[in-house]
């Protein structure tokens, strides 16, 4: 998911340089959403990993 966020961020930068403001804004918005979804999933897995580890030992 972070890979796709990086791809959309790079696409937004390129589109912004080329003057496609609307498309650049849309790509940047998608990149931000994907980044935050990846962060939330990572935090959920971290919490689940810590709780499962504590319950096993």
Mean pLDDT of 25-49: 94
Domain containing residue 28: 2-56
Number of domains in the chain: 1
Maximum Cα interatomic distance, the chain, rounded to a whole number of Å:
57
pTM (two decimals): 0.78
Mean pLDDT of 11-26: 93
Average pLDDT, the chain: 90
Q: Specify whether the CB–CB gap between 23 and 15 falls below 8 A.
A: yes
Task: Say how far apart CA 13 and CA 21 lie, in whole Å.
Answer: 10
Secondary structure letter of residue 19 according to DSSP: T
pLDDT on residue 53: 73
Tokens of 38: 């990846």
Secondary structure letter of residue 1 according to DSSP: -
């Amino acid at each position: 998911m972070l890979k796709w966020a990086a791809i959309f961020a790079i696409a937004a930068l390129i589109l912004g340089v080329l003057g496609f403001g609307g498309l650049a804004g849309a790509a940047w918005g998608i990149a931000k959403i994907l980044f935050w979804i990846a962060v939330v999933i990572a935090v959920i897995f971290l919490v689940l990993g810590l709780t499962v580890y504590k319950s096993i030992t």
